Chains A and B, each alone.
Chain A
Amino acid sequence: MSPHGLVVLTVALDRSAGDARPWIEAAGATHPSLIDTDHVVADRYRIINVPTSVWIDEVGRIVRPNDAAFGSDQFVDMTGVPSGPHLEALRAWATTGRLPFDASEVRRRQVLPTPEEQLARTEFALAWHLHRAGDTEAAERHFIRAGELAPHDFTIRRGSMPIRGLDPMGPDFAPMFMEWIEAGRPYYGPRK
């Protein structure tokens, strides 16, 4: 799609370039692979899970808001999101400029952050600083508080696990995942 002028920017919401490196190398990336250890993009775009895509046009406007976008159907049974429709729409946009939504539909599909979600991100920022400063006990309290404030924000609840020495693929993730399933697998889309 690059020959049609599309720039792919990937942003790793990881604690270090080292954690993201295997994905970047596996992708054989010729596109910019950015590292976002402070979750700046998550904060500014209200990203609560991965993978999340945003389409931005030539004049810097959001033309497709946050969406779960997968490169394959490897995890479709877990996520409930097939990869085909988004990839087809992306191809159409890149080659013809066709957009799936007009501006009012983009706004309708945006989920805007709540004060609790922003407080959760602030608690996460404090926790991450305390961890890097060596105060792991205090950090743990604030990581937990952040997760309580935003229980469906996986960038916080699951993203903090490697930092805290927990395995994000392991048994600590299972109850979080079940809660998410029971809540209807909330990704993005208009608030109901």
Chain B
Amino acid sequence: MSTFTLIDETRPVTVDATVRPDGVRLAPAAVERALGWTLKPEGLCRGPLCIPARGIVDADGVDLAGLAHTLGRPLALDADAGAAALGASAAERSAQLESLEAPDFTLPDVHGTPHTLSQYRGRKVFLLAYASW
């Protein structure tokens, strides 16, 4: 068991993991705490939804790559560095964009004050992404 960082989209969570030559395993309790999915006999469950999770659990816990595949989410893993990132799937992002509902977000301004896109309902919004590069 070692300390491992799992980044859920952008949010880092410290979990205990077992790093083996064949992959990284997380305890079911860590999967629940970090990602909100509970391991039950039916599979991985969140709210009313359960996804079968065959072949990804053994005595050391849940295989991280298998978990990512089951959830349909992209995984970037660096076992030696003790960290992994679980991203949002293309299917999820595409469905949101195709609906034409503008994805909401909350970000700080240069003074640190948070702004949420949906707080501007009732106004036309011109969103402009730029960078110093």
Contact = CB atoms under 8 A, between A and B. Distances in A.
Interface residues of B, number: 52
A interface SS class: mixed
B97 A32 contact: no
A112 B90 contact: yes
Given A11-B107, A133-B83, A112 B126 contact: no
Interface stretch (A57-65, A74-82, A177-185): A57-65
B86 interface: yes
B108 interface: yes
Interface residues of A, number: 80
Interface string A130-168: 100101001001100100000000010011011000001
B interface SS class: mixed
Contacts of A47: 129
Interface in A30-45: 32-36, 38, 40-45
16 contacts: A7-B124, A9-B127, A23-B132, A33-B109, A38-B10, A53-B126, A53-B127, A113-B94, A115-B74, A118-B88, A119-B76, A122-B85, A122-B86, A125-B7, A133-B5, A155-B131
